[in-house]
Amino acid sequence: MNEEILKAATLLKQGNVVAIPTETVYGLAANAFDGNAVKQIFEIKQRPLFNPLIVHIKSIDYLENIVSSIPPKAMILAKHFWPGALTLVLPKKEIIPNVVTAGKDTVGIRVPSHPTALELLNQLDFPLAAPSANPFGYISPTTTAHVQNQLGAKIPFILDGGNCQKGIESTIIGFENNEPILYRVGAISKEEIENCIGKINSKTKAASSPEAPGMLSKHYSPRTPLMVSDDIISDLEKYKNQAVGFIVFSDLNLNASEKYIQVSTTSNLEEAAQNLYAAMHQLDAAGFELIIAEKFPETGLGISLNDRLYRAQEVEFDESTLKELKTLTRK
């Protein structure tokens, strides 16, 4: 066995919290059966206890150990998308501590597809509760460097699995009266879900006591104010001489510069998803007064990416709001 995986497994068995790679983002993991270990996750992240966690399991066969019932459409989705970036919210068994589920009688579960995460899970006799490995509300990490910069001083180990392939969080599906409800758009598009089980309803916002992670209006945010642009060409011209960083999706033949990050060179939404959080981290660390991100096409994975941008945008921006920002210095 890989020595780093062995080290992570040993620490987890001892009740510690470690950062682990998944195909979506890096997670902050602890034994999901150990309430005291899980409480450390909330403390390290400064995450409110009303926000439930996702539990990662080694295989679809493990489901029966932690859930009390599985709606037929849930099993169809699990067989189709697992291992993968889909979380299912299902009735939990008592073995899952209430701290994991924020006191709810349901638990979010998925089988990750990252080979390192799966190898780790197969060395353990318990599943892993693992939200994103970042301070609560901040940009999710997609590299070990992101984790180190944000939480490295607070955790004993970061298991390196390279850059995350998907780059944004899992899609979350819950069930009400055995019918599926979309709680969070993510790395698997709503269209892909509906192609598998038919039309589904959505409930993706919650002011408090969310049914699943990622439903709060403010989330995934850099410390630098971020604005979503419906007209990136106009905004590029308007702010070109000011202390503004840009995240761009359209192919505009921009000159290479620390101000401009093109998240896809081929207008590919999957490539953009892989690069979005890294671009936000980079621009947030660059000392700009404002980050402007181009709105993605409202189709497929673009809907999930726009969801992240709008949750990262702390306020609705208009001219009066912009005037309240610190005066932008010329560069």
Is residue 216 a part of any domain in this protein? no
**Residue in 281, 277, 249 with CA at minimum distance from that of residue 262:** 249
Strand 106-110 vs strand 86-91: parallel, antiparallel, or unpaired? antiparallel
Please check whether residues 135 and 193 belong to one and the same domain: yes
* pLDDT at site 6: 97
Task: Give the DSSP letter string of 232-262.
Answer: HHHHHHHTTTBSEEEEE-S---PPPBTTEEE
Is residue 215 a part of any domain in this protein? no
Please check whether residues 31 and 144 belong to one and the same domain: yes
138, 224 Cβ separation under 8 angstroms: no
Reported as a single tens digit per residue, the pLDDT across 2-38 is: 999 999 999 999 999 999 999 999 999 999 999 999 9
C-alpha 134 chain-centroid distance: 10
Is residue 113 a part of any domain in this protein? yes
Give 182's strand partners: 173, 202
Distance, in Å, from the CA atom of 11 to the CA atom of 178, rounded to the nearest integer, reads 38
* pLDDT at site 329: 35
Please check whether residues 124 and 31 belong to one and the same domain: yes
CATH code for the domain of 281: 3.40.50.11030
140, 222 Cβ separation under 8 angstroms: no
* pLDDT at site 330: 37
* pLDDT at site 197: 97
87, 171 Cβ separation under 8 angstroms: yes
Is residue 209 a part of any domain in this protein? no
Please check whether residues 170 and 249 belong to one and the same domain: no
Task: Give the DSSP letter string of 70-98.
Answer: --HHHHHHHHHH-SSSEEEEEEBPTTS-H
Residues 6+ apart with CB under 8 A from 84: 23, 110, 111, 112, 113, 188
Task: Give the DSSP letter string of 267-296.
Answer: --HHHHHHHHHHHHHHHHTTT-SEEEEEPP
CATH code for the domain of 61: 3.90.870.10
Please check whether residues 233 and 188 belong to one and the same domain: no
Please check whether residues 196 and 233 belong to one and the same domain: no
Please check whether residues 187 and 46 belong to one and the same domain: yes
Give 106's strand partners: 91
Please check whether residues 154 and 69 belong to one and the same domain: yes
Reported as a single tens digit per residue, the pLDDT across 187-235 is: 999 999 999 999 999 987 655 566 767 666 667 889 999 999 999 999 9
Residues of the chain with confidence (pLDDT) below 70: 1, 205-210, 212, 214-218, 256, 314-331
Count of helices and strands (H, E) across the chain: 11, 13
Distance, in Å, from the CA atom of 155 to the CA atom of 217, rounded to the nearest integer, reads 28
* pLDDT at site 251: 87
Distance, in Å, from the CA atom of 247 to the CA atom of 318, rounded to the nearest integer, reads 19
Give 304's strand partners: none
Q: How many domains does the chain have?
A: 2
Is residue 198 a part of any domain in this protein? yes
Residues 6+ apart with CB under 8 A from 226: 280, 290, 291, 292, 293, 309, 312, 313, 314
Please check whether residues 257 and 291 belong to one and the same domain: yes
- Domain extent, residue 304, equals 226-324
CA distances from 323 to 252, 286, 313, 315, 320 (A): 28, 22, 16, 13, 5
Please check whether residues 159 and 299 belong to one and the same domain: no
CA atoms within 13 A on the CB side of 242: 15
291, 244 Cβ separation under 8 angstroms: yes
* pLDDT at site 143: 98
* pLDDT at site 314: 64
Place of tokens 């060395």: 123
* pLDDT at site 1: 58
* pLDDT at site 59: 98
Q: How far apart are the first and last CA of the chain?
A: 51
Please check whether residues 156 and 48 belong to one and the same domain: yes
